[in-house]
Structures are given as structure tokens and as C-alpha cells.
Amino acid sequence: MPTSQEYIDPPTPMGANLVADGATFRVWAPAARAVYVITDELTASRSPGWAPKEKDLLVRQPDGTWTGFVRGLADGGAYRFWVVGEGSRGFKRDPYARELGTDPAFPDCDCLVRDPRSYPWHDRGFRSPPFNELIVYQFHFGVFYAVDREGRDARRGRRGRFLDLLERIEYLRDLGVNAIQPLPIQEFPSQFSLGYNGTDYFSPEMDYQVEEDRELQRYLGTANRLLGEHGQPPLALADLRPGPNQLKAVVDLCHLNGIAVIFDAVYNHAGGGFDDQSMYFMDRRPWRSNDDSLYFTDRGWAGGLVFAYWNDWVRQLLIDNARFLIEEYHVDGLRYDEVSVIDNHGGWFCCQDLTGTVRYVKPQAIQIAEYWNDARWLAVQPPRAGLGFDAALSDRLRDGIRDAIRQAAYGRDASINLDAVRDGLYRPYGFPAAWCAVQCIENHDLVYADRPAHEWRPRVAALADPSNPRSWYARSRARVAAGLLLTAPGVPQLFMGQEFLEDKNWSDNPKRWGETLIWWDGLARDRAMRDHLACTRDLIRLRRTEPALSSESINAFHAHNENRVIAFHRWVENVGADIVVVASLNESTLWDYRLGFPRPGFWREVFNSDYYDNLPNPQVAGNGGGVVADGGPMHGLPCSAAVAIPANGVVVFAV
């Protein structure tokens, strides 16, 4: 007799889900001849001659799914599907599996039933920042940070894990960022990865998990110390044993420290190669083309296959995954990878359904699109007119700043185009608000060490002075780049190490870690790195305390390419709170440089990048605490002032 249909009804969720005294199963395999769920015979199934039993046979439903109920299964119970198709027969992993086991190893691993309520959350009072106030920090779990019991850098011997981030939460909090954006965390089939070749969308990467209790004890101590600082009850070791709970603990503790979490969702393709037990050809049809692979088309992208967005069940998988991350992991937003590819392959309505569902489930969760099609604004227009994302990556300011820094590196007589920086400060065409543009000058793609030579781009410090990324030229120009990014309209995003002048391009490849890991020890050994970290920290603090810097208003009233000076005015509409930002890539200090100001009177100098060179710089080229705007109209503004602008410097004035 096939499996029981107790607890099975039309709303039964996909995958394995615990109920009162067992678990329900539902899997989509419309062309399969039979689908079994194997639970108590997983060990026996590895013996020659094994065959599935009728008691494990799921029941086919009219919609092409197969369902069943298995009594007695509990949290941590193992299972796999055995699929009999026209083309082949064999095991398949559940596309909705919440966790994959490690013994046997991937790809022959079991799926694990997990209770989504097993982690005791502490973040009930957390509210993510308003979208316009976000300051995002992007990083890769596998290479970001890992130390041994003695506090020594352990990354050359092993990859970083989810729980390693616990040791950096206070650092990120003190830096001032209020959101983190890890590269994709879903299970990927390779030994190392950026994360964009995932195949098991609901399971966190197994290699980022800690299995041994002895190791877990150390992380448990860190977690409970952080919880105790916020008056929260401690975790037990059992709370951290499930791999998913380790990632949940990271989200939980970020929230307690005022940091939102944005996950990177890859819905434009899956895989970079598929094993036989993956969701590729899930119902085991005969292979004729990749169009028969159920979830995918024959169109490739980034080494994998593009999803079949025209199919309701495929769209449902992606929407279910987004909802799963929001609901079960408490994430505060999603960054959607290469939405252009989804749109270009028939996924327009899929994007609208996706963004609409997430907005319904959690309106305060930001949805960020990577969308590089010509009509960039379509990503951030509401459905019907557009795809419905809240924000999208922007490259105008990024390219303008990086080009200006690169041009400055050719010397004092080189031409610099500050017009492009000025233009990049304004809201992109068709974007409904300035904050809808996510701005950066470094990211995981741009400064990836393993890019093809013609696409290779250096870190800002190396861009600023290719001959010596620790020279005064590199240090000062990098401060200008940071100052422009963190005072510009939009949502600023930093990439790991950028905040302390890391000059090496990064890689996920262990063979290159000796030359690509960010240098945490430099904060103790390298004064330039400490100084730049202090500069970045103070710029972030300025952005968070001056409301004009997260407002919509911008007037870039001065861009002088010969003098290498750009100046702009930020303010809060109908309030004031005026800010004037002045940046120079001139290699000489400019004294008594006259600029327009939006109102007369005394303007405080609230930031001067020259202060951070050999901090505290005893010979700062500054304005003695402020300037008085008592001159006549200039640059379209009602008054003016003579200011001192340090060489390769940024100064910020506030009323």
C-alpha cells in the first residue's frame, strides 16, 4: 500500500514539513512513473540489489505532484526521493530540502527534515532601517573572517563559516553600517564558489556549517556573550547543532546589534553543472535537450541553465524560496542577481509576481535588482509599468568616481572628468527616488581577482596609485572616493576591506588565498589602514547623523575639471539641515577657493579628510572650524565663501 495521505490536502506545502506525529511530503515530478520517499531504508539503499518498497510510494496528484505522510519522522530525520522516469531511475534530492546531510557526502547526501521553529529567536523588537538610510556592507562568508582558538587567522587552512561572523558583528556595528549583504548562502556543488552556482535553494551551504560539538562550544560562548550584552537569554548547544540554525543565529545577533540582513538571491539561473541527484531532470525524462529538464530551458547563463519562467511551478519554486528566506530566516531584504537575464528570458511576469509576494509578506523588506538592460528604470517602476523592485544597482556614480581617481593617478597635469561624477550624483533617469539607486565603488564582481584580464579592475587604493597603494597619493585619493560615495544620494554599499584600504583583489579560490585574503592583521600593523578605517567610520557616522545626506535633494553646483574641484549641496526639503560637500583631486591645497553657498552665515566644518592622514594630522589644511558665507551670489546660489580645500581632500560644511 502506498504512503498514507493523512494530513494531505491541496494546500500541503512543497518539500518535507513536520506535522503532529510525522512529516508530509510533496514533490513536483509530472512525467515520473513513480516517486518514493525513502526514510528508514537509506542505509539499505546503498547495497547492491536494493529496490524501493510499495509502502514508500507517494501518491500522484492531478497537478503533477506526488504526496505522502510518514509517521514518526522528527526534526533531523533523513530522507531522499527515488524517482522512476521514462529515461532513468534513481535518487533525487528534494528541491525544497531545508538542510542537506554531510554523511554521505554531497552529492549523495540525504535531505534532513527540519523544524523551522527550532531556533529561539531574540529579535522581536528589531526594525530594519528606512530604505533611504541604509548603508550596506557586502562580504563573502567563506573568505571574510575566521580565527582559531588562539585568535590567529585560520583562513589559509579552512574557509570561513556562518558562525565566524559572530566575531565581527561588533566591528561592523562600530563601523556604522546598518545592513550586511553576504554573497549567496545556498548550497553549491563545487569545492569553493562565489555562491552563484547553487543547486539546492533552501539548504544553506554545508561547508559554512560547524558539525563538531567541541567547535560549536566556542561559537556558543561568543553567541551567548553577545546575547547577554543585550539582556537576552542564552542559547543551548542543541539550538546551534542544526546547520540552518547557525545562520539564523547570525541574523538574530545582527538584528540585536542594529544591523539588517539582505540575502543575495540567484533566480536567473541555477548550477554551473548539475549532478544526477539534483533537480535537473527531476522527473527523469529521457534526455533530448535541456528543455526537457523540467525546471530549466536550454539557455545557459554563467555556466548554468536559465529557469523556465513560463512554468507556474518553476515560478512558484522561486517565489517560495524568497518567501522562505524572509519568513524562516527573518531577513530584511533580497538582492536579486542579474534580473536582466530573467527579463530577457521571459521572466517579466515572474518578477512582478515575486516582488508583489515579498512586498505582501514583508513590506519593510527591501528588494534590490541587479538590472543592466538599457531601460534601467523598468526595474524600479511598479508592476504594469515595471518589475516592482524597490531599488536597483547603479553604475553612473561608480564609474564617474573610479574614472576620476584613475585619471588623477596619471599626475598633476592629467585631465580629469568631474562632469561624470556630477552627473552620477543625480537620480538616474526614470527612478522614482534617489535612494532607489544602490551606489558603490567596489563590489564582489568589480574587484574579483579571477576575472578575465580585459575585465580586471583594481581596488580603489591600487587604482589611486598603481605604483604604491600606501603612498600619500593612494591614501588621499581613496579618502576622496570614500567621501564622495558616503555623501552622495542613494544607498551606499561597501565591499569587505574597502573600509580599511585593502588593496588586493579578492578571490574565493583557496589556491589564491595567500595573495587575495583581506588583511585583518593590517589594522594592528599598518597605520594607513587604521587611519582609513577611522575616516570611513566617521564618514558613516556623519551620514547617519546629518539627515540631508540620506535625503532626496542634491544640487551639484560646481564641477571644475581644470581645478579638479567638485562641490554639491544636500538638504532636507522644507526643513533645511543644509550640507555642502567639497571634494578636490588637485595635488595642491587650494586656499581661499571661492564657492557658492545656499545661505549666509557661519558654516561649521564637520569633516575634513586631511585630518586622517597620519591621524591625527597636526598640519591639517582646514578652515579653522568653519567659514562665513558673506560674499555675493555665486554658482547660482545666493551667497559665497572662501574655503580651504586640502590637496586630494574632502571637506564637509553644515549650518
Active-site residue numbers? 337, 370
Residue 437: its H or E element: strand 437-439
356's torsion region: left (phi>0), alpha (psi -120 to 50) or beta? alpha
Q: What share of the chain is helix, strand, coil (3-state, %, to 5)?
A: 30, 25, 45
CA distances from 605 to 383, 542, 616 (A): 44, 12, 16
Where does residue 281 fall: left (phi above 0), alpha (psi -120 to 50 degrees), or beta otherwise? left
Say if CB 653 and CB 580 are below 8 A apart. yes
User: Over 198-249, what HEC string results?
Assistant: CCEEEEECHHHCCCCHHHHHHHHHHHHHHHHHCCCCCCCHHHHCCHHHHHHH
**Chain center to CA of 11:** 32
Residue with cell 532626496: 552
Which 8-state DSSP code applies to residue 27? E
Write out the DSSP string of 516-557.
Answer: HS--TTHHHH-HHHHHHHHHHHHHHHHHHH-GGGGSS--EEE
Q: Are 94 and 79 in contact (CB under 8 A)?
A: yes
The owner of cell 564582481 is: 445
What element of type H or E holds 476?
A: helix 472-487
**For residue 359, what are the contacts with CB-CB under 8 A and spacing of at least 6?**
365, 367, 388
Phi then psi for 436, rounded to 5 degrees?
A: -70, -10
